Each structure stands twice: as structure tokens, then as C-alpha cells.
Amino acid sequence: MLKRYLLAPGPTPVPSEALLAMAMPIIHHRSPDFLPVLDAAKNGLKWLYQTKNDVLIICSTGTGGMVGSVNNFFSPGDKALVINAGNFGERWTKICKAYNLYVEEIKIDWGYAVKPEDVEKALKKDPSIKGVFVQASETSTGVYHDIKTLASIVKKCKNTIFVVDAISALVAHDLKMDEWGIDVLIGGSQKGLMLPPGLAFVGVSEKAWKFAEKSTSPKFYFNFKKERESLAKNQTNFTSPVTLIIGLNECIKILQKEGLENAFKRHETLAHATREAVKAIGLEMFTKESPSNSVTAVNAPKGLDGQEIYKNLRVKYGITAAGGQGQAKGKIFRIAHLGYADTFDVITAIAGVEMTLKGMGHPVKLGAGVAVAEELLLK
Amino acid sequence: MLKRYLLAPGPTPVPSEALLAMAMPIIHHRSPDFLPVLDAAKNGLKWLYQTKNDVLIICSTGTGGMVGSVNNFFSPGDKALVINAGNFGERWTKICKAYNLYVEEIKIDWGYAVKPEDVEKALKKDPSIKGVFVQASETSTGVYHDIKTLASIVKKCKNTIFVVDAISALVAHDLKMDEWGIDVLIGGSQKGLMLPPGLAFVGVSEKAWKFAEKSTSPKFYFNFKKERESLAKNQTNFTSPVTLIIGLNECIKILQKEGLENAFKRHETLAHATREAVKAIGLEMFTKESPSNSVTAVNAPKGLDGQEIYKNLRVKYGITAAGGQGQAKGKIFRIAHLGYADTFDVITAIAGVEMTLKGMGHPVKLGAGVAVAEELLLK
């Protein structure tokens, strides 16, 4: 028997409360049974997003939310400023280009965060930029971008909106949508929200809704105005993914019991403990600055392949973490502390890494990282 | 206690085998654990689609599969011939127009099926038509279009492909994709396949893949070429909806045990019994010809509102059937016999209708419809 542990940056483990609620007999999305379900989801998402506006619920992966945030607020030829600091920054560029936007990139070395002043400069230089696109947490590098400062910069430009992919940051980082002035905030189900994949969430500011009025990009499946109208009637535009929304309500209940501030604090604490423990093992962070609360990216020790560490963790110890993506493939491995995660998930991850490296012939003082994690996670 | 019965044309009830499999701890879509899961799904879908080609699996509602079938095979300005015989035919027109195709419609009175010779004439008149779009089962009217004959007509035109929305027909009707020459065949999870909403399926012929080479429509989330490449590696392009795919394999197992021919026969038998029973109650079919095996559309008796019948069924008897859509709203009600449906679902529906109509003051001989259904469902 090999007991399994899921410590990847999405999908993350789903609490039994949600799994069992989703295993209940299905209900019909256009029947009155569903109205209170969607009503609860709407209220829960507003709470989670710290916004007074409805948060759209889309039946797609998180990427669908990103695509919808391009084709609903922009038109061919519009100028986009993309902060490209990793694999998912690159995705913004690809989506914008697929919809014929003109893309200017602020390209950042992997492992580093954007300097807000560079965004400010770019916007001053070219006031025709219609949208600034960024990740809150860049999953491929484990970097958190300073969303609060970036929002305050874009807020000053009345012809520009700030579009944030928070798919892997939601629940793990405090993102005050209304207070900070984030215009479009995208989440996904299978990350901090502790659900299976299948839902994207999109919060939209009044400023962004005005942009939507002018968009000429083709839209049918991702049609945010129609989703907004449907949501006002406690429906979704097309067939609602009823089971996932029922699960969403269960997970939001769990988070509401914990409290939003406590959830952020939990992720911060787990992330900090993971980083310090990793360093105590003698490993080096791949993330050079502003580490994310969602995932920790670690350099493979010299002479070892990051993918092999990932594989050994999985095959020998039943731990599904993550390897590297794109240019970081082979060079790093990543450990998530996201969603339904607590103290002993970090302990498991660190012990697993210690034992795996030892098994691969790397000199490791067993227990050194775990001792540091224990120290930092003492209650 | 009001026991609940779901007899709507999607979502349909989900068998416990699938519900429980989906409630198992989640696995990671890029880990080797998932490869055999997707492999099984691929093989199962080929079997179900009666095709040798891979069937794409998309994380969206069925409509996402329709949208992808427009933006992946066609370009702005291309000519589309849409068979518009109801609410979902209308949807084809809207999607084609959203992607700037030029749309010609064969408009058919609700309740009737397309005459294949009209399609033949239209194609002869205008050989520049690139795609013919139709529903196999038009859910809003309960009509089945003659897909076999239509396929044989379009097959002769080498510059035209045949795109079939089989979202509510799959499993209920025999659709021999390869043998008949259907180029694009779209399914959804929450209908005959007995799953929760969240998956679209798209079968694609070699002829259609050639069309995809020339398409210039914007595509990112619905990018069929990339999905095909991913599927060859037992992956999906974006995060896989792992739980739904695990459920899919359970439902396909159930269907394989039954046998495809038996599944078609079961739906045909249930549909026939429902229609004859409805007539025995003294009601009139809304569907004037070529009734679908998936859903039966019935005219509300004179003086009664179809929506009220739907409401009474639900509130008094716990039966969620369906009302009318679009121009049929208020005039009809609909009973599905789709997916996880058998003898006593029909009996329940018919008894429920008898009792509901009686309760609404309509003269009904209680048991008259049920007697006919019993007769036709005797084993």
C-alpha cells in the first residue's frame, strides 16, 4: 500500500464535506432548487473577492476565465501591457495575440517580481495601453507580484484596466479587489478553493464593465455581459455545473468558519515554514524575491534533475508535488501549500524531500528541515 | 418528505457508481496516475462515437463544444447553412454570427424535421457553403433530424463539412459517425452520458481536420488542434476536469455492459411508450414528425399553461420535468427519458402527468396512460 499525498499547485485536495455534497443526487439548474444554491455561491464569492459586485461563475478551467477577460473587455488592435515573469505570464501574451491585441511585454527573469515603477513608466510612455495583465502568484516561479501597488498605479489611468490572474493566489493571498482597485480578478476552482477543476471565477469592476461596452472581439461562450445578466437572476448563461457549485458552497462554508484573514495567515505561515525548512536542508530557493504563499519553487541540488526528484517523491513516497515548467524544467521542483493544507502537509513535504534526496545520493542531514518546520509551526 | 425525480432533458440523474467514483480523493492531471484514466476515456468515447478518431474532451458545457466547432473549422466570411428548427438551431446561428460567418438558414416550423432534399437543394444552389449545422435531437421541440440522410448529402460536397450537435441525442440515438460520414459530432456530459454538467465531447473527421488547417478565427480556449495533440499524449490542453473524466469512465462501463445497440433500443422503447401513454391520456404531441428518443414534447391541454403543469409536477409530486422554451413557452411541457432512465421512470412520469392534470381540473381517466405504458414496457 502506498498512501497518496497531493501537494501540487492545483488540483489540490478536496475536503470530504465538498466531495460528499457533490455526490448527492443532481438537481436541475433551471429549477427553483438551484436558485438558493447559486445565491449562496454569489454571496460567498463576493465575500472571498472582497467586492460588492457579483463574481461571474464560468464552466471552464481557469484559463477560460483568462480568455474571457481578454475577449470581453478588449478589441482587436487594443494595446495590452503584459507582465511576463513566467509560464503563465507567457499565457497572457498568447491569449492577447490570439484575439489580435497588440502586446507589449515587460519581460522579467524567472524567479523575480515586476518592479511597479517599470509599469508606471510604460503607462506614462504609452497612455493608449488599455489593459495591464499580470499574475498575482506566478505558479511556474513561485513569485508573488505586488498587486496592491500595481493596482494603485493602473487606477490613476482612466483608460486602462488592471487584469489579475489570481487563479493560484486566491485564498492564499489577501487581494482586496474593491479597496485596491483591481478591475478584473480571475480565480479557479482547483487551487485555494479546494475544489475539483471545472470552474473559473471572474470579478469585474464598474470601470471594466464600461470597457465591455466597447469590446468588438467575438464572444459567445465567454460572454460576460450575458453571464452578469443571468447571475442577477441566480442563473448562469449556459447549463450550470451544478455539482461543482454545490461543492463551492461547502468550501466557502469551511473558509468562512476559518475567517478570511486566518486563511491568508495560514497560507503565509505554511509558505514561510516550507521555505525555511527547505533552506535548512541546504537547498536554494528558485524564487529570488517576493515568494508566493501558494507554492515554493526550489532549485534541484547540483547534479540532480528536478524532474527526477518529483518522480522519486511520487513513486517512492506517494507524494505528488510538481516539477518545473518551461525553461525551469529539470532545474527545479515545487511544493504547494495551497487550499486544504495545514501543518502536517508541510511536515510531510519536507520529510519526503529529505528522504528522497538522501535516496538519490545527495548528502542530507535527515530531520534538519523538519526540525525548522516544526519550530515555525508550533502553536 | 417529498421524494425527488429528475426527468428533465439534462442534467439527468447520475448513477451512484459515477457519483461515488467522483467522490474519491482527487488525482493530478499531469501525473502518471491520470494517463490510464484518460486512456480509458479516449477508448470509451471512440466506442460510443463509433469512430476510429480520438474524440476531444473539453472542460465546458455542451455549448462550448458548439462554439469550438465554429471557431476551429471556419473563418470570418465563410458561409454556413444552419438548419434552424428550434431553440438550439437558433443557437447555431448566433454562434456562427458571433464568429462573423455568413449564415443562411433553413428555417423550419417548431415541431417539424428538416427535409433532406431542402439541404441538397441549398448546397447545389450555393456550392460555396462551407458547413451544414444541425441538431440531431432538437431538445426544444422533441424532433430528431435524419442525420444519416443528411450526412450522405453533405458527404458528396468536398468543400462542405457536416456539423452535428448531438448533445441531447448521444446514447439515445444511433449515430454512426465514421460510417455515415459525420464530420463534427458534439456531445455533452449531462444528458445520455448520465454525468454532471461540465464536459463537452467533439468527434472530428479527417475531412474536418483539413478545414481546421485553414481556419483564421481566434482560438485559444477552444483550440482543437492543441487538444488533439494533447490527447495523443493522454492529456488535455488545459487542466483536466479529472473528477468528471473519472465519472465518465464509470458511465461508459455501465453502457458497455448494456451494449450500444441495447442502449439505443432502450431509449427508443421508453420514448415510444411515453408518446403512446401521453396520447392515451388524451394529450396531443407538440412534435409533429420524427420524434426524438431523448425527450417527448407535449402540448398543454386547452386552457392550461404548460409552465403550470411543469410547476405542479415539481411542487406537488417532486418530479422535475421541463416546460417549453422560446416560442413554445407556456404551450408545452416536456418529459425526458434520457440517460439513467428505465421502465419506472416512464411510469412515474405518466402517472405524475395524469395526477397533475387531474389536480388542475382537467378531465383525465387516471391510469389510462400508465396502462398503455405498462403494455408497451412488458418484458
User: Is residue A42 very low, low, confident or very high in pLDDT (cuts 50, 70, 90)?
Assistant: very high
One-letter amino acid for residue A325 of the chain: Q
ipTM associated with this complex: 0.91
* Alpha-carbon span B41 to B375, nearest angstrom: 38
Q: What is the pLDDT of residue A10?
A: 94
Taking the CA of residue B217 and the nearest CA in chain A, the distance in Å comes to 9
For an interface test with B, which of A2, A35, A221 has the most B Cβ atoms less than 10 Å from its Cβ?
Answer: A221
| Contact (CB<8Å) B242/A99 | no
* Alpha-carbon span B166 to B138, nearest angstrom: 9
Beta bridge partners of B334: B297, B322
User: Is residue A335 very low, low, confident or very high in pLDDT (cuts 50, 70, 90)?
Assistant: very high
| Contact (CB<8Å) B11/A29 | yes
Contacts with B153 (C-beta within 8 Å, 6 or more apart), sequence order:
B116, B119, B120, B123
Across the interface, of A31, A59, A222, the residue whose CB is closest to B197 is: A59
Return phi, psi of residue B348, to 5°: -60, -45
User: Could you give the C-alpha distances from A367 to A228, A310, A347, in angstroms and in order?
Assistant: 52, 19, 10
Q: Mean pLDDT score of chain A, rounded to an integer?
A: 97
Residues in chain A: 379
pLDDT digits (tens, 9 = 90+) for B358-367: 999 999 999 9
pLDDT digits (tens, 9 = 90+) for A214-251: 999 999 999 999 999 999 999 999 999 999 999 999 99
pLDDT digits (tens, 9 = 90+) for A143-169: 999 999 999 999 999 999 999 999 999
Average pLDDT of the segment spanning A174-188: 98
Per DSSP bridges, beta strands A319-320 and A5-6 are: parallel
Q: What is the pLDDT of residue B84?
A: 98
Scan residues 153-212 of A and list those with Cβ closer than 8 Å to B.
Answer: 188, 190, 196-198
Return phi, psi of residue B68, to 5°: -60, -30
Q: Is A273 left (phi over 0), alpha (psi -120 to 50) or beta?
A: alpha
pLDDT digits (tens, 9 = 90+) for B126-167: 999 999 999 999 999 999 999 999 999 999 999 999 999 999
* Alpha-carbon span B143 to A127, nearest angstrom: 55
User: Could you give the C-alpha distances from A145 to A151, A285, A370, B276, in angstroms and in order?
Assistant: 11, 17, 28, 65
Structural domains present in chain A? 5-10+259-377 (3.90.1150.10), 16-257 (3.40.640.10)
User: Is residue A104 very low, low, confident or very high in pLDDT (cuts 50, 70, 90)?
Assistant: very high
pLDDT digits (tens, 9 = 90+) for A299-308: 999 999 999 9
pLDDT digits (tens, 9 = 90+) for A254-285: 999 999 999 999 999 999 999 999 999 999 99
Q: Which residues of A touch B218 (CB under 8 A)?
A: 71, 98-100, 217-218
Is residue B205 within 8 A of residue B351, CB to CB? The reply is: no
Q: What is the pLDDT of residue B236?
A: 97
| Contact (CB<8Å) A29/B14 | no
pLDDT digits (tens, 9 = 90+) for B229-259: 999 999 999 999 999 999 999 999 999 999 9
Scan residues 276-315 of B and list those with Cβ closer than 8 Å to A.
Answer: 314
Q: What is the pLDDT of residue A115?
A: 98
| Contact (CB<8Å) A31/B222 | no
Q: What is the pLDDT of residue A55?
A: 98
Indicate the pTM of the whole model: 0.94
User: Could you give the C-alpha distances from B263 to A16, B254, B269, B294, in angstroms and in order?
Assistant: 34, 10, 10, 12
Is the N-terminal amide bond of A15 cis, ω within 30° of 0?
Answer: no
pLDDT digits (tens, 9 = 90+) for A53-63: 999 999 999 99
Q: Which residue of chain A is at minimal alpha-carbon distance from B64? A: A221
Q: What is the pLDDT of residue A131?
A: 98
Q: DSSP string covering B326-346, please? A: GGGTTTEEEEE--SS--HHHH
User: Is residue A184 very low, low, confident or very high in pLDDT (cuts 50, 70, 90)?
Assistant: very high
Q: Which helix (H) or strand (E) holds A133?
A: strand A129-135
Which residues of chain B are modeled with pLDDT < 70?
none
Backbone CA torsion sign across B136, B86, B346, A243: positive
pLDDT digits (tens, 9 = 90+) for A7-33: 999 999 999 999 999 999 999 999 999
* Alpha-carbon span A211 to A215, nearest angstrom: 7
Q: Which helix (H) or strand (E) holds A63?
A: helix A62-71
Q: What is the pLDDT of residue A117?
A: 98
Angle at B55 between CA B52 and CA B61, to 5 degrees: 155
Q: DSSP string covering A215-275, please? A: --S--SSS-HHHHHHHHHTT--SS---HHHHHHHHHHHHHHHHH-HHHHHHHHHHHHHHHH
Taking the CA of residue B282 and the nearest CA in chain A, the distance in Å comes to 27
Q: What is the pLDDT of residue A345?
A: 96
Percent of chain A with pLDDT over 90: 99
Across the interface, of A4, A11, A29, the residue whose CB is closest to B242 is: A11
Taking the CA of residue B67 and the nearest CA in chain A, the distance in Å comes to 7
